[in-house]
Chain A
Amino acid sequence: MKLLKTIRLTSVLLFLPISSFASTGGVSAGDTAWLLISAALVMMMTPAGLALFYGGMVRTKNVLNSMGMSFVTYGIVSVLWIVFQFSLAFGGDVNGLIGTFKYMFMGRDMNLVYPGTHVSIMAFAAFQLTFAAITTALISGSVVERVKFSSWVVFSVIWSTIVYVPLAHWVWGGGWLTKMGIADFAGGLVVETCSGVAGLVFALMVGARKGFKREAMPPSSIALSIFGAAMLWFGWFGFNAGSAIASNALASNAFLVTNTAGACGALSWMIMDWSVHKHPTMLGFASGAVAGLVAITPAAGFVNNVGAIIIGFVAGIISWIATGYLKYGLGYDDSLDVFGVHGLNGIWGMIAIGFFADPKVNFARGLVYGGTHQIVVQLIGVAATVAFVAVGTFVSGKITSVLTGGLRIDEEDEMKGLDVVVHTEKGFEI
């Protein structure tokens, strides 16, 4: 996300009263311009990129509901974030576990410079909002085509508050993982491992779609999915390069290695498809791109382009195996492979930092460059995240189930499709 040096500075400054870091001349025009553009790029990833990527992969009768879950989540988190979630994640610190309520409703001081950066707190909060939204929306891919819409809405409120917010604080907001020196540039833990593990747990709670593994569930439109994946890739430049929270060389490095890893992931998935299934599928190529982009997310501010090639290439193979074999072998219906693509490659990207982090890029030193400490920190971060998210998601799901009277639509509605049953609309008139 940002230089650890600045985070360490932050954690010291957070104990001071607000007024002491309300710098007047600290806003950089360049940093602000890039961060606001990045925030807009990442915003697009949820209601456009992710919605199309997901919508294209579900059956025609559920396309609108699936796209809607992403878009509606963006709306919900947008409000919660400025009311209290940003403050709890990034405002102050209580025992390394959670922030405070000091920035409720974002306050009225737009000139306040966010500690450790050269941007207004408003720009920083806007950028972080888009991360909270997409992380929550990502989970919907695991439970599409059978989760109740009301359950999804309630779940997204609870989960984003009790799981995303604390984790963002631990890793980026001056929490215990920040202090330990975790290297997670743009969300390998906070976004990818987090959404992937949450997706798997929630999918197990909701249960498999009727007919899973027995009947064909043809995607409504691979064309939409490919367009969505392309928009995700485009938005990912804001996601990763924006996470420098500065317009500088580190952002430029993140930009380029992001592209490298995305391309390598896409190509390795296509190579696997082509050599094993004899056909280079385009959904595979697009999915591989996402896998590579996921894996480079934590590493974008720590590795060079050689590291990015390896990270991306391995990422495509990991997800190819997870989606084509692991899922059906173990029999869990993580419908759109949030765990197989985001969860596993978030973990891979975090661990890869321990191997390939180049000390010429940032503070972390990987095994390849003689560092033995970073990989230990990375593994602790992964283990803590998997455990916390699994438990937190289970609790969120249970509360949701009580509040909405179960998590699933009834069988007949599942057959009819959620578009007409829930929304009284159709995604397509065919």
Chain B
Amino acid sequence: MACEKIEAIVKPFKLDAVKEALTQYGVEGLTVSEAKGYGRQKGHAEIYRGAEYIVDFLPKVKIEVVVSDSIVESVLEVILESAKTGKIGDGKIFVYDVEKAVRIRTGEVDDEAI
């Protein structure tokens, strides 16, 4: 069966909640990286001795998780619920098709590999 990758960009302080919820649901692995960016939230102002700087890029966390087709919708729901604060800047979720997945240790592919 085919896999899909879910890429979720969330507020850094929500990382633990998302991880917790995914583990509880049964997702066995994920990849996390620190990211910076902006959407509708835009940046914030910093002032040093009267000089104002607009910081455009805000710190976010990017979570990548690959799951099989059958559970994509439910995993999406889990992330949506656990990462939401209702305020601007909560982030985005993107879903991509994965052509192939391989577990390096055993050579297993696709569903078996994740």
Q: Which residues of A contact B55 (CB under 8 A)?
A: 216
Chain A positions 303-327 with a Cβ under 8 Å from a chain B Cβ: 320, 323-325
Taking a contact as CB atoms under 8 Å apart, the answer to whether A218 and B49 are in contact is: no
Q: Does B38 contact A (CB under 8 A)?
A: no
Q: Assess the B48–A283 pair: CB atoms within 8 A.
A: yes
Contacts of A324 in B (CB 8 A): 49-51
How many residues of chain A have a CB within 8 Å of chain B? 18
Assess whether A277 is interfacial by the CB under 8 Å rule: yes
A337 at the interface (CB under 8 A from B): yes
Question: Given the complex of chains A and B, what is the CA–CA distance between A277 and B47 in angstroms?
Answer: 8
**B97: min CB distance to chain A, Å:** 36
Q: Measured between C-beta atoms, what is the minimum distance from A221 to chain B in Å?
A: 12
Say what secondary structure dominates the interface of chain B: strand
B50 near A218 with CB under 8 A, answer: no
Does residue A328 face the partner (Cβ distance < 8 Å to B)? yes
- Greatest chain A CB density within 10 A among B48, B50, B53, B54 is at B50
Contact of B47 among A281, A287, A325, A337 (CB under 8 A): A281
Do the beta carbons of B50 and A325 come within 8 Å of each other?
yes
* Whole-angstrom CA separation of A57 from B51 in the bound complex: 12
Please tell me if the beta carbons of B49 and A323 are within 8 angstroms of each other in the complex: yes
Decide yes or no whether A181 CB sits under 8 A from chain B: no
Instruction: Tell me if A219 and B48 are in contact (CB < 8 A).
Output: yes
Does A284 sit within 8 A of B, measured CB to CB?
Answer: yes
> For the complex, what is the distance from the CA of A355 to the CA of B89, rounded to whole Å?
55
Q: How far is the CB of B47 from chain A (nearest CB, A)?
A: 5
Q: Counting CB contacts under 8 A, is B46 at the interface?
A: yes
Q: Which of B46, B48, B52, B54: most chain A Cβ within 10 A?
A: B48
A277-B53 in contact (CB<8A): no
Best-surrounded residue of B47, B49, B51, B52 (most CB of chain A within 10 A) = B49
Residues from 35 to 92 in B contacting A, C-beta threshold 8 Å: 46-55
> Which of A261-287 touch B at CB < 8 Å?
273, 277, 279, 281, 283-284, 287
Contact, CB under 8 Å: A218 / B51: no
List A contacts of B48 (CB < 8 A). Answer: 57, 218-219, 222, 281, 283
Q: Is A328 within 8 A of B49, CB to CB?
A: no
Q: In the complex, what's the smallest C-beta–C-beta distance from A370 to chain B, in angstroms?
A: 39
Q: How far is the CA of A134 from the CA of B84 in the complex (A)?
A: 54
Q: How far is the CB of B48 from chain A (nearest CB, A)?
A: 6
**Distance in angstroms between the alpha carbons of A106 and B53 in the assembled complex:** 51
Across-interface contacts of A283 in B (CB, < 8 A)? 48-49
A222 to B47, CA, bound (A): 11
Q: Which of A218, A284, A328 contacts B46 (CB 8 A)?
A: A218
| 281-302 of chain A: CB within 8 A of chain B | 281, 283-284, 287
Asked whether B47 lies within 8 Å of A320 as measured between CB atoms, the reply is no
Q: Please indicate the chain A residues that have their CB under 8 angstroms from the CB of B50 in the complex.
A: 277, 320, 323-325, 328
Closest Cβ neighbor of A216 among chain B residues: B53
Q: Which of A216, A279, A287 contacts B49 (CB 8 A)?
A: A287
- B49 (CB) vs chain A CBs: closest residue: A323
Interface string of A99-135 (1 = CB under 8 A from B): 0000000000000000000000000000000000000
Task: Indicate which residue in B49, B52, B53, B54 contacts A284 across the interface (CB closer than 8 Å).
Answer: B49
Residues of A within 8 A of B46 (CB): 218
Q: Which residues of B contact A57 (CB under 8 A)?
A: 48
Report B-chain residues with C-beta under 8 Å of the C-beta of A328.
50-51
Q: Which of chain B's residues have a CB closer than 8 A to the CB of A222?
A: 48
Rounded to whole angstroms, the CA-CA distance of A122 and B81 in the bound complex is: 73
* A residues apposed to B, CB below 8 Å: 57, 216, 218-219, 222, 273, 277, 279, 281, 283-284, 287, 320, 323-325, 328, 337
Offer 15 A-B interface pairs, CB within 8 angstroms, sorted by A: A57-B48, A216-B53, A216-B55, A218-B46, A218-B48, A219-B48, A277-B47, A277-B52, A279-B47, A281-B48, A320-B50, A323-B50, A325-B50, A328-B50, A337-B49
Knowing that A323-B49, A324-B51, A325-B50 are A-B contacts, what are 12 other residue pairs whose CB atoms are under 8 Å apart, sorted by A's residue number?
Answer: A218-B53, A219-B48, A273-B47, A277-B47, A277-B50, A279-B47, A281-B49, A283-B48, A287-B49, A324-B50, A328-B50, A328-B51
